[in-house]
Every structure is written in structure tokens, then in C-alpha cells.
Amino acid sequence: ESSLMKSKFRGCLLGSLIGDCLGAPFEGDVVTAGDKIVIQRYFDKLQDSTFKAPFKQYTDDTAMCKSVAKFLIDKPEPDYKFLAKLFVTEYFNEPKRGYGENVIEVFRKLKNTKFEDVYKPAREQFFGSGSYGNGGAMRIAPVSLYFYNQYHSMVEVAKNVTKITHSNILGINGALLQCLAVHQALLSDPENSIDPKKFCTELSTKLKDIEEVDEDNLDNINNIYHDKLKTVQKLLQKEPSDDLDEEILENLGNGIRAHESVPTAIYCFLRAQNEIPGIETENSFRRTIQYAITLGGDTDTIACMAGAIAGAYLGEDAINSVLAKHCEFNKEILEMAENLFTARESI
């Protein structure tokens, strides 16, 4: 039982890394039917062990995920100033990891104010409305893992970890939704198939309980994620096709906003539980990230989030090790998963 959980920890962080590394070359692209064939060949080639490709490099998604994992491993009591410093140090060491355009401003201010109030710079983003980028959600998986049997701590820590860079309700609730999705996948038996309807309704019920609420509810903002989860269920009932992919982009999105990518990642995970035309593989982990990438847009981040959910459900054994070896940091991320697993035994 504990060995399955350890495998799920490793699968989750490895899944997140692979989605980021393999998705990054396609970030921002509009994907045509021809590109889907190119992506199929790209995966086939990477999985062929005789193919000596260079490493696929990770981006900001993994850079920030590393910091969240280290914060949990090194600090028995959550120390958010420590985490803010990790984010900032990581950024200034390697600024060219493809960070979101505006989050860089938060890092500069944190540094210049000597981390006096770790939440203030994020609150000042976008004229005081805070960021709703998917940067909070893309790095949240270690929190789902570490606190998997301490639900209330998981929720509280997920919110605080997010608020260091993302204070907009949509940014926070998007990170909470991704946190819940990873957590729910982690606690699901990989021997049993996932019931997509149940998966979505449970997520919605849990999110309702913990989400941040906007008093004014302008533009029906409080319902966005709940409506999207209903849309996910509706779209899953349709036969996959290129037309359906268009519908997915229109209704769920593939952008850098949390509400236009987190529900999409959940959709990718659920859709990939069954075969998808044009994606030739028996392996549902590969199918999840390959499918996420074929949707285009913010491919590294959507594949990273979908990969974390799939890896948490399936465990490490379901992930092709040759595919993993093409990703920069693949050994180190497994060490982090291992350390996260060990560290949580002492709490």
C-alpha cells in the first residue's frame, strides 16, 4: 500500500515534468491536423530508445514546482518567506525559463522589499486585481502529495503558496482546483477505471467548500470553475473529432489564464482514459500529455497539469522510462518525490 503511494508520488512529479518538457517546444502554437501527425511522430521517436535526442528542457512550471517541493521538504512548519526566497533565487539564477510576463515584477519587488510582506507584491499586480495566470496551478502538485491525508492543511497551504504570486480569485481557485484534481487522482485506485462524471462532480463539491468567493460576483465569477466542470462532463459525452477539439478550445480554452487551462487539463486526463483517434498508443499516460499538446496554446502548462494528475493516478510504472529520460531533471525530480514522501512520514 505504501509502495503504491510512493510510486504515485514519483509518477505525479515525473508526469508534471514530462508534460512541461515535451509540451514546451509547442507553447503558443495553433495546432493543425498536420501538426497532430508531427506530434505523434515526435512522441514515437522519443520513445524509441535508439533515438539519441538532446534533453528537452524544463520551463518555469518545473522551476517553480521544485521550489514548492523544497519548501515542503525542508520546513516542517510552512515558512512562506522561505518559499518566496526560493522562487526569487530560482528566477534570478535562471531567468530564461519562460516565466509569465508579469510574474517577474513580483520577483523584483519581493527582492527589493527584502521579502517584508511576501503577499503584497502579488496583490499589486494588474492594478490591484492580482494575477489569474495559471502559474499558481502549474506548480501546486507537491502540496497535494505532501498533505494527502491532511486535507485542511493541504487547502490552507495551497492557498498561501499560490498567493505569493497570484492573488486574483480565479488564480487562487484555479490552483485549488488543480490541487484537488491531483489529490483525487492520488487517492483513486489505478486498478479501477475513473468515472468522469463522478470525478467532476466531486471536484465541484469540494471546490465549493474551500474556494475564495467574490462578494460582488461580477461576470458570474464565482461560477466559472463550476460551469467549466459541467462543460467538461458534457464534452466527454461526445465522440472525439477535430470538430470537438474546436469546441473544447471555444468552451474550455487553452490559454495562460487559470480558468482557460486548469479545466482543460482535467478534461485531457479524463478524455485520455479511452482511446483518442490520431493518438496511437496503448498507454494512457502518454495519451494524456500527447492529447494535451495537440490542443495547442499553453501546451507545456496544460500538459504539465494533466501529466501530474495522470501520474498521481497511475503511478510511476505506467510512465515510459525512455520518454522520461529525454527530459532534463528527470532523475532529480524523482529524488524530490522520494524526499517528499519521506519528509511527510515525520509530520
Residues that bind ligand 8NA (CB under 6 A): 27-28, 59-61, 98-103, 126, 129, 131-135, 168, 256-257, 298, 300-301
**Which amino acid, 175?**
A
Tracing cell 524544463 back to the chain, one arrives at 58
Instruction: State the nearest-atom distance from the C-beta of 166 to ligand 8NA, in Å.
Output: 6
> With binding defined as CB under 5 A, does residue 90 bind Mg ion?
no
Instruction: State the nearest-atom distance from the C-beta of 319 to ligand 8NA, in Å.
Output: 21
Instruction: State the nearest-atom distance from the C-beta of 24 to ligand 8NA, in Å.
Output: 8
Rank residues 7 and 134 by Cβ distance to ligand 8NA and give the closer one: 134
Residue 209 in grid coordinates: 467548500
Torsion over CA: 74, 78, 83, 85 (sign): negative
**C-alpha 296: how far from its chain's center?**
16
**C-alpha 35: how far from its chain's center?**
23
Instruction: State the nearest-atom distance from the C-beta of 65 to ligand 8NA, in Å.
Output: 11
| Span 95-114, contacts to Mg ion by CB under 5 A | 98
Rank residues 70 and 139 by Cβ distance to ligand 8NA and give the closer one: 139
Comparing CA positions, the residue from 335, 321, 324, 311 lying closest to residue 21 is: 324
> What is the number of alpha carbons within 13 Å of residue 274 lying toward its C-beta?
11
Q: In angstroms, rounded to a whole number, what is the distance separating the alpha carbons of residues 80 and 3?
A: 31
- 3 state SS of 56: strand
Rank residues 204 and 301 by Cβ distance to Mg ion and give the closer one: 301
> With binding defined as CB under 5 A, does residue 261 bind Mg ion?
no
Measured torsion, CA atoms of residues 275, 281, 287, 293, in degrees rounded to the nearest 10 = -120
CB neighbour list of residue 41: distance below 8 Å, 6 or more residues apart: none
Rank residues 281 and 290 by Cβ distance to Mg ion and give the closer one: 290
Instruction: State the nearest-atom distance from the C-beta of 187 to ligand 8NA, in Å.
Output: 27
Q: How far apart are the first and last CA of the chain?
A: 19
Q: Are 155 and 172 in contact (CB under 8 A)?
A: no
Q: Are 308 and 16 in contact (CB under 8 A)?
A: yes
Helix pair angle (169-186, 151-163), 10° resolution: 140
Residues, the chain:
347
> Given the rule CB under 5 A, which of 41-49, 61-69, 152-160, 261-269 is the region that contacts Mg ion?
61-69
Tracing cell 497570484 back to the chain, one arrives at 166
> With binding defined as CB under 5 A, does residue 260 bind Mg ion?
no
For Mg ion (CB under 5 A), the number of binding residues is 8
Site string for Mg ion, 289-308 (x = CB under 5 A): ---------x-xx-------
Instruction: State the nearest-atom distance from the C-beta of 30 to ligand 8NA, in Å.
Output: 14
Q: Are 61 and 18 in contact (CB under 8 A)?
A: no
Q: In angstroms, rounded to a whole number, what is the distance separating the alpha carbons of residues 127 and 124?
A: 6
Rank residues 207 and 304 by Cβ distance to ligand 8NA and give the closer one: 304
Residue 216: name its binding partner from Mg ion, ligand 8NA, none (Cβ under 5 to 8 Å by kind): none
Residue 102: name its binding partner from ligand 8NA, Mg ion, none (Cβ under 5 to 8 Å by kind): ligand 8NA
| Span 16-35, contacts to Mg ion by CB under 5 A | 27
Q: Are 180 and 145 in contact (CB under 8 A)?
A: no
DSSP code, position 255: S
Instruction: State the nearest-atom distance from the C-beta of 238 to ligand 8NA, in Å.
Output: 27
Rank residues 15 and 135 by Cβ distance to ligand 8NA and give the closer one: 135
Find the binder of Mg ion among 7, 19, 58, 61 (CB under 5 A): 61
Instruction: State the nearest-atom distance from the C-beta of 106 to ligand 8NA, in Å.
Output: 7
Instruction: State the nearest-atom distance from the C-beta of 98 to ligand 8NA, in Å.
Output: 3
Rank residues 11 and 19 by Cβ distance to ligand 8NA and give the closer one: 19
Question: Under the rule (CB under 5 A), what is the footprint of Mg ion?
Answer: 27, 59-61, 98, 298, 300-301
